[in-house]
Chain A
């Protein structure tokens, strides 16, 4: 039987000013009916472009060549736009990430399903109520009749993503391509969507999954292709790739995943420091495949007697009247010197508001925050100002936390205003912290937009450590980063924290990261603390049902 997809030596480029700008090269891909295949890679690996080439949507200006490019036995290299249009939706369905923007926000679900069921022409269009209802049922949307009349923004994230999947399978395509189908979803919602896809897989549907997350892939795919810089570096059955990776890059990716087992160890490969100044993080080809040893992180020194941060019965309400909501509801915790405390919760749990109150950017309605046992939240801003150097912030989006007009030197140096370090001494300190995050003096004159995502987050870390704070508040500092960059940043954070003895308040939605990095954890839900305790104890034996649900939802390497 002919395979559904049969591709040999695919190359895709976006030629510009005479340069080929190849983003995919030498790619072979074969997908048989009933198979579930995954393309895994970090940003820039070419996985999404490859997926889009299968529906002829690589965009204008793309140059595609291949020795063989057959879709269901037909040579797609000869396809014109009309042939592609007939293929899309009929033979191949496509699911993108984040249905909030991947569905037309101005049209009702019913209209969009009718569009997806129709033949795509403007004039022949009909309402297909009955078929739409069946479709919504099939993706597990309860009360489908009501959902049909709603707009995407009126649906919850999970239902929205299900509706998007419904449009992709509307005309019963032989293959469904899911491009990061659960990215930007909360863990519990992510699990529902993965379950839905797994169900379809069990029912014998063909799936091509595109993901950066090996754990997700391990639950859904029979076969994995690991991509990097436009090439497939390794492929094989999922279990084999995950348990015995042969290519160093695959191994590095696996090692970079923070989890319970990585506690106390480095996530990024040894000796990576030397290569950070280079644009990419090259893995030495000489490394042996079976070699998987982890390096220890320096030990932290925690002084449990000295409480750097005390949060005492905080309340915060936003809005007024019936529309108001209690965003922070009776939150209390303590953080000792040198300790790391993780705050975990899904979106809307109030964890970011707690961080902002601790930073003194938002005043609590009730309750108080003490720093080193002394009042903090009750102070006026003028009184707080002189002590601000002691508490520093690392924001999620480093780029937006930099004044775009500033050079790196001024960005990092500005945090030293609060400790009145100026002139030559400031420059010395800036160089010192830049060196600590493994960025050389050449970076002093750079502007934020000239830096990569990982470099930006390093500079944010350097800036936070510059005034030698006793408390560091990190709000989702790695959630926008690729997993290998995340590994480097987490290693740096752990290293610098150990060396400086700073306490760390680490806010994250990612339980793996929290488990890897922090000592104690606070689990928040709808403004309340549902569980708190030693991170290993809580995650090993969660008492609260919500914590249990969160932990179950984490996709783990099977």
Chain B
């Protein structure tokens, strides 16, 4: 997890071990995310049952040895569905964040470097877009495109563009005014070299951190929209959609609606812990 270029590989590993010893929370978060990653890439590795095929004879079994998380109203193994669901929830979240980060960074950089009228136009546009709450903006977009996985990604991604654009724009401004950029000007560097060498790396430095923290928000947003039926359609085992089904069986089979929620919360906590640790070490390094 070391991003410092000065830390060599060997000391990086030692650094990691030390970190694991001192920060058990961080270690747990990384371990859980690894499990989620495996569930995303290779769900069969972790689960024994088919997440889609119904088996009415096995319906609504409480958690037990055969079905760790129990079975749902159609007799499907909840654990398998949660594991397979990682693929949808994570991929929707990651794709939405990537869209937002890429477009947002480009807009932010453009505004920050161009300044003047272009900056004003972009900032005003962002102001207008942020006047609609994220989730509602996504809903508006979906009412044009209709529900579905791809449409959900697009809607969520567009809705979180302003957050990235704002940070990158502000960073670009700060760095363009910084002492070392001024100093570099006195060396006679051309504008292009100045931007590439000194402004761009710093302006973009926070984007991956912001994206990590934003991933948590995106996963929750995706689950919420799926809960409302805007995302992947049944019988796809997406976590938010599973919660919507579980809500109806709460009185008779609590486990259907609880486990997907636990999966969401743990994933988001892990992502946040990772993102915050990264941010803290980034700021620590910046302050020296």
CB closest chain-B residue, reference A404: B286
* In the complex, A131 has a CB within 8 A of chain B: no
- Count of A-B residue pairs with CB < 8 Å: 62
Cα–Cα, bound, A449→B183 (Å): 17
State which of A204-212, A274-282, A391-399 sits at the interface with chain B.
A391-399
Min Cβ gap A238→B in Å is 38
* In the complex, B120 has a CB within 8 A of chain A: no
State which of A77-85, A312-320, A380-388 sits at the interface with chain B.
A380-388
* In the complex, A461 has a CB within 8 A of chain B: no
Cα–Cα, bound, A405→B186 (Å): 19
What is the 8 Å Cβ interface bit string for chain A, positions 447-461, against chain B (1 contact, 0 not)? 111100000000000
State which of B157-165, B174-182, B227-235, B272-280 sits at the interface with chain A.
B174-182
Query: Chain A interface: which size bin?
Result: 20 to 34
Interfacial chain A residues near B287, Cβ < 8 Å: 449
A385 engages B188 (CB within 8 Å): yes
State which of A219-227, A300-308, A411-419 sits at the interface with chain B.
A411-419
CB closest chain-B residue, reference A394: B183
How many residues on the B side are at the interface (Cβ–Cβ under 8 A)? 22
Min Cβ gap B205→A in Å is 9
* In the complex, B25 has a CB within 8 A of chain A: no
* In the complex, B288 has a CB within 8 A of chain A: yes
Known A448-B288, A449-B285, A449-B288; judge A403-B188 contact (CB<8 A): no
Interfacial chain B residues near A450, Cβ < 8 Å: 288
B187 engages A401 (CB within 8 Å): no
Known A405-B5, A447-B6; judge A393-B186 contact (CB<8 A): yes
Within residues 411 to 442 of chain A, which ones have a CB less than 8 A from any CB in chain B? 414-415, 417-418
CB closest chain-A residue, reference B180: A403
A400 engages B179 (CB within 8 Å): yes
Within residues 248 to 304 of chain A, which ones have a CB less than 8 A from any CB in chain B? none
CB closest chain-A residue, reference B186: A393
B183 engages A393 (CB within 8 Å): yes
A386 engages B186 (CB within 8 Å): no
* In the complex, A69 has a CB within 8 A of chain B: no
Within residues 74 to 118 of chain A, which ones have a CB less than 8 A from any CB in chain B? none
B288 engages A400 (CB within 8 Å): no
Interfacial chain A residues near B285, Cβ < 8 Å: 404, 449
What is the 8 Å Cβ interface bit string for chain B, positions 249-288, against chain A (1 contact, 0 not)? 0000000000000000000000000000000000001111
Min Cβ gap B27→A in Å is 21
Question: What is the interface of chain B, defined by CB distance below 8 A to chain A?
Answer: 5-6, 178-180, 182-190, 197-198, 201-202, 285-288
Closest 10 CB pairs of A and B: A449-B288, A388-B188, A400-B179, A385-B188, A401-B179, A418-B188, A401-B183, A403-B180, A393-B186, A418-B187
